[in-house]
A and B are shown apart, each in its own frame.
Chain A
Amino acid sequence: MNKVLEMSGLTRRFGTVTAVDGIDLDIVAGEWVAIMGPSGSGKTTLMNLLACLDAPSEGRYVLDGVDTSRLDDRERTVVRREKIGLVFQQFHLVPYLTAQENVMLAQYYHSMTDKEEAARALAQMGMEHRLQHRPSQLSGGEQQRVCIARALINQPAIILADEPTGNLDEQNEEIVLDIFRDLHRQGRTIIMVTHNPEMGEQAERVVRLQHGRVEAADPTPVTP
């Protein structure tokens, strides 16, 4: 089993509050994992640790062979751009750039911009007719598809999605879910934080958090 992600005793404290408390969890390549739990259970903190947006207070976090626990801020930034694709609930597109340029932005900070490649990535999301549109000219679902194209453009080791359908209507939710199913079929490793039980059901495995700890990590059936 090719482990993409290994966590052992991963802990994050904020003063006297322990938001993530000694999590041990491994995720293998191509797995689709949903992290679920009530508000305050530590989902967002764990997500930030997995995204290398934050550093653990204790424990070890190895991503694609790199132990990120001892890295400084700059080194974590490098790991983030090389190995992680982020999908946000609120899309977070740069408002003054077109859909294509927003995808190219990830290329720009990674290595080299490539218009054609960005256009292809958007076409895979069914957005080939919206390349030159700015975010304000796109629907929520379309913006999320741009966000997913941006997350995928640098071929990351994992895709981290934070409530990816949280701001979408039912129809767009289904479109985005289909995209994730496709990505899973292509062998992408997906870690998704969600409140939504239906989204959770799509994942191969659900990790339930409670008070910063893994309450349960059971395999769930994969919905094709």
Chain B
Amino acid sequence: MAAISLQQRQNLRMFLRILLQSLRIRKSRVLIAFCSILIGAAVVFALLSLYFDISIKMSRELRAYGANFFVGAAETGQPTLEADIYRRVLEQIPAQRLVGASPYLYGVARLDLGNAVLAGVDFTGLRRLSPFWQVEGKWVAVDFDEEHCMIGRALARNMALKVGDQLRVFKRETGFNQSLTVRGIVETGQAEDDQIFVNLSLAQKILGQPGRINHAMLSILSRDFDTDALAARLKEQWPGVTAAPLRKVSYSEGKILEKIKGLMALVAVIILAATTFCVMTTLVAMVVERTREIALLKSLGAENRSIVRQFLIETCCISLAGIAGGMLVGFLLAQLLGQAVFGAAISFRIAVVPLTLTVSLVAALLAAIMPVRMALRIAPATVLKGE
């Protein structure tokens, strides 16, 4: 046992000596292979970091384009549903996935100069749901604020209202008659431009619909989250409720993300292919340079597996050093890209490390196949003959 371990130790020492000397004597070629792998690994690391972060960051960016989930009364039942159901629906969605949500209660109210559609909303949620709204003045900031309202741009124009003006709201059926101050004027280019927005609780009073809403719009981060399953679950739980993802928005979001990810994968594959090619040509040059040496080793009794082992270990040594450097450079590159594209830092994700290591190492080992085959084909009888 001791003899075996001594033999292994002695031979390992010799192997390391051959390995180090062999790498040392070919510094320039080793450097080329090292740099190629470093660049490849850096790009892979940066793109993988972005790939993982982009889904979250892009999802958040895309969520700025509005709601992607609808909850309302079932067609067969009443036109409204209990506001409490909406609150319980929200409880079923993980907080980190919910970008914004607002209930809506609609009705017609009489204003000073005519009728208008009045919408009761949750301003805090609505603001998150519709960050693209152009608002002159300010948003209604407090949920229990029953003295302020926001009005659409067209309505404000028709009624000659400005931010800070008072407007009287009547509702004959409920006897509601109160002045509200215009806190902000909303411009969306859509139906909202003709509406007046108040807090939900106030709308319920004006319209005589206490505890009721017409529907709710939600903005959910749908990456890796099954909104169809959520809709089915909600419908099963409350038969009087209809719930559905807004296909157009979710679909577009998914498509955009898929395309960006596809593009990143393509770039990574191209860079890896270039890396593989560069490493391969360098290794081929190294084999050509070492033809005599390989022939000699074979003539001394080196079996093919010894030659393969030596080449693969040399390749692995260069690759691992290149990959380690590449990860460092890749992390910095990811930060640069993150700042440039999203204006935010890209998080370090431990999963990127084994992925980069595996992908880069596989690329390097693929690059070694042809050179190793060349090395194995070297015939010592031909190479070593005299003259």
Contacts and interface: CB of A to CB of B under 8 A. Distances in A.
Interface string A73-99: 110011011100010111010111100
B301 interface: yes
A77 B307 CA distance: 13
A81 B299 CA distance: 8
Contacts of A44: 385-386
B301 to A, nearest CB: 2
A105 B19 CA distance: 12
Given A111-B7, A166-B386, A105 B300 contact: yes
Given A53-B381, A97-B21, A162-B385, A109 B10 contact: no
Nearest to A86: B299
Contacts of A104: 14
Contact of A112 (B10, B18, B292, B302): B10
B26 to A, nearest CB: 9
B11 A108 contact: yes
Nearest to A114: B10
B294 to A, nearest CB: 10
Interface residues of B, number: 33
A163 interface: yes
A109 B302 contact: yes
Nearest to A164: B386
Contacts of B386: 44, 88-90, 162-163, 166
A77 to B, nearest CB: 5
A149 to B, nearest CB: 13
Nearest to A81: B301
Contacts of B13: 113
A41 to B, nearest CB: 14
A54 interface: yes
Nearest to B386: A89
B191 interface: no
Contact of B292 (A74, A92, A105): A92
A145 to B, nearest CB: 17
Contact of A101 (B17, B293, B380): B17
Contacts of B25: 95-96
B22 interface: yes
Interface string A54-86: 100000000000000000011001101110001
B348 interface: no
Contacts of A53: 299, 379-381, 384
A203 B35 CA distance: 56
B352 to A, nearest CB: 38
B20 to A, nearest CB: 9
6 contacts: A53-B379, A77-B301, A78-B303, A80-B299, A109-B306, A113-B13
